[in-house]
Amino acid sequence: MGKGKETFNTTLDARILREAKKLAIDLGRSYNRLFEEALIDMLRKHGRDARRAEDVAQGRLWRGRD
């Protein structure tokens, strides 16, 4: 797996995307950060170790240096 950020493209239901964008605005966070948070929650839900991904997303680990 590559280090750092990667581009990820997908097609989503327009209503879900619209609500997610509104939530990002309401919370004062970037949409990308909310999406990363959702992926971390999904990893946890399915029993995967999401600690490292969460540490990187939160800036506790340097991207590309660990």
Q: Alpha-carbon distance 61 to 7, whole Å?
A: 20
47: left (phi over 0), alpha (psi -120 to 50) or beta: left
Confidence at 65, pLDDT banded by 50, 70, 90 = very low
Q: Alpha-carbon distance 62 to 44, whole Å?
A: 22
| Mean pLDDT value across residues 16-41 | 92
| Mean pLDDT value across residues 32-50 | 84
Q: What is the pLDDT of residue 46?
A: 82
Q: Alpha-carbon distance 47 to 27, whole Å?
A: 27
Domain residues of the chain, as ranges? Answer: 30-60
Share of the chain above pLDDT 90, in %: 33
pTM beyond 0.75: the answer is no
Residue in this structure with the two tokens 């992926």, named with its chain if needed = 39
